[in-house]
Every structure is written in structure tokens, then in C-alpha cells.
Amino acid sequence: MEHDPSPASRSLPTLPEIRGTGAFTLVGGDVVDVAQVAQSIATFGDRYLRRVFTDREVSHCTAGGRDPAPHLAARFAAKEATFKALRPGDASLDWRWIEVRPRADGSCGLRLYRGMRALAKRRGVRRLELSMSHDGAYAIAIVVGDVSLPPSTTGSSRDNLRRTHRR
Amino acid sequence: MSDEIRTILKEHGRLSADATTLGDDADLYKVGMTSHASVNVMLALEAKFDIEFPDRMLKRSVFETIASIREAVEELTSGR
């Protein structure tokens, strides 16, 4: 049987529900050593960039000839923070299924693809917000997600949604 | 093959323990391998064994121990 890399069909770790509200807050954070990212670029070059980051992310982080390492380190932290927030268990996940996208106001948001999109949908995620920063040697990212069961969801269908989160 | 994997772990795994003396079933994350270091380990394994890890192998458990890494590499190099 062919392996299904999507987390959509796998059992997932339980999320902590805010008692009695049907609401969940997902949080993930990560810190990355900028020098390690620079070393990975120096050692593995395009192979590293292509396996971890989307073309759009690489283009953004190398624009204008700036040092890409701090920006890529922040993006790697964002990807790892997203993994931690969504708790995929041991599902097969590609780093490029999470993309950091700059917004017009200067902040950055997340766009999910394929298996990560399926995972977020299964988790019932309504919104994911990202904050990144880098200073000197380190880059950090925090991801917060809102999951709430709609008020109109009652009875057995609400219980079914809860069970999804408890798997 | 385990010796080659240990050499790669020593060079790229950023472990707090000596990879050359780690047991095959020792948890690599518990001795300090970060997810970023696991990317470097994966890329070094691909170069060493002329393989490419497919999406289905991009998961924590594949890079958790020397034994699990060896199993994955053996699967990807079998039939050559």
C-alpha cells in the first residue's frame, strides 16, 4: 500500500481545550542560530535552500544582495514554530509546505500548502498569526493559532469536533 | 553503513554526545540534535549515499536513531 504522507489521516496529539468553551489556542515557538543557517548555505548551497525554503522565500531573503542568513533563520524558526503549534505527531511534513509571506504593512504571515494545509484544516484552525525577529546571533519566531468550535455547533457534531482534537 | 552515518552525525548533528560511541537505538534528539541539524544530516546523507529522501520520510522518527536512519538509507539504496 502506498504511504500517505498527509497528516490528514493520522492520529494527532491532543490539544488543550480551554475548559468548557470549545476554544483552543495553539502556540509554538522556536529559536535558530543564524550562524548555523549561514553554515548550511555555505556547505550545501542550493540543495539546502531548495529543500527547506520556497522559491518566493529565497528570492525575498536574497533581494538586494543582503545577507540572507538572518532572514532565512527567522523563516526556519517560523516553520518549526508552526510545526510545534499544530502538533503533527510523526506525520511526514515538508518544510516548504509552510511559507512566510510578507504583508503590505511590513508584518509577515503564513501560507500553508498540501500536508500542512490539511493538518490545519483537521485541527479546525481559523487563524494563524506569526511574529519573527532576529538580533545578532539568533532568530526567533512565535506562532499563535485560534481554534474555536462555532457556537451553532451543538450536540453530537460538537462532540465529534472535540474528539478530533483529542486524538 | 552505521559508521558512515555516525561520521555524518558527528560532523552535522551538533550532538552533545560523541556520535562514534552512541548506541544504534540512542535517541538523537535527546542528545541535542535540533530540527535544523537534522536537515543538515539529511543533506549530508543524500550526498554520501547518492539518494534523496522522499516526502514520506521527512518525519521525526526517521532521524530519531542511528538504526532508523540506517533503515531509511538501506531502503533508498536497495535494488541498485
Instruction: Kindly list the averaged pLDDT for each block of 10 residues, start to end, along chain A of length 167.
Output: 49 64 84 97 96 97 93 98 91 93 93 94 91 96 85 49 49
Looking at residue A2, what is its pLDDT? 39
Mean pLDDT, chain B, as a whole number? 93
Question: What band does B1 get if pLDDT is binned at 50, 70 and 90?
Answer: confident
Tell me how far the alpha carbon of residue A157 is from its chain's centroid: 27
Cell numbers for A139, please give them.
532568530
Q: How far is A156 from chain B (nearest CA, A)?
A: 34
Which range among A16-25, A130-139, B4-13, B35-44 shows the weakest confidence by mean pLDDT? A16-25
Which cell numbers in the block locate residue B79? Answer: 535494488
Q: Say if the Cβ atoms of A3 and B56 lie within 8 Å.
A: yes
Residues of chain B in contact with residue A80, where contact means CB-CB under 8 angstroms, are 35-36
Which residues of chain A have a CB within 8 Å of the CB of B58?
5, 92-95
Provide the shortest C-alpha distance from residue B18 to chain A (in Å). Answer: 19
Mean pLDDT of B60-70: 95
Mean pLDDT of B15-30: 93
In this predicted structure, what is the pLDDT of residue A18? 56
Q: What DSSP designation does A6 have?
A: -
- Substitution target in B27, B36, B56 with the highest count of A β-carbons within 10 Å is B36
User: Which residues share a beta bridge with B22?
Assistant: none
| Dihedral angle, C-alpha B48, B50, B52, B53, nearest 10 ° | -50
pLDDT score at B76: 95
For residue B23, give how far its alpha carbon lies from the nearest alpha carbon of chain A (Å): 22
Q: Are the C-beta atoms of A22 and A157 separated by less than 8 Å?
A: no
What is the pLDDT averaged over residues B53-70? 94
Q: Answer whether A5 sits within 8 Å of B56, measured CB to CB.
A: yes
Q: Residue A65's pLDDT is what? A: 87
Position of cell 525554503? A53
Distance from CA of B20 to the nearest CA of A (A): 22
- Rounded to two decimals, the pTM is 0.84
**C-alpha torsion sign, points A72, A73, A78, A81:** positive
Nearest CB among B36, B59, B61 relative to A36 is that of B36
In order of A53, A55, B28, B69, B75, the CA distances from B80 in angstroms are: 31, 32, 29, 18, 11
Residues of B with a Cβ under 8 Å from any A Cβ are 14, 35-37, 39-40, 42-44, 46-47, 55-61
Domains and their CATH numbers in chain B:
2-77 (1.10.1200.10)
**For range B24-31, the mean pLDDT:** 95
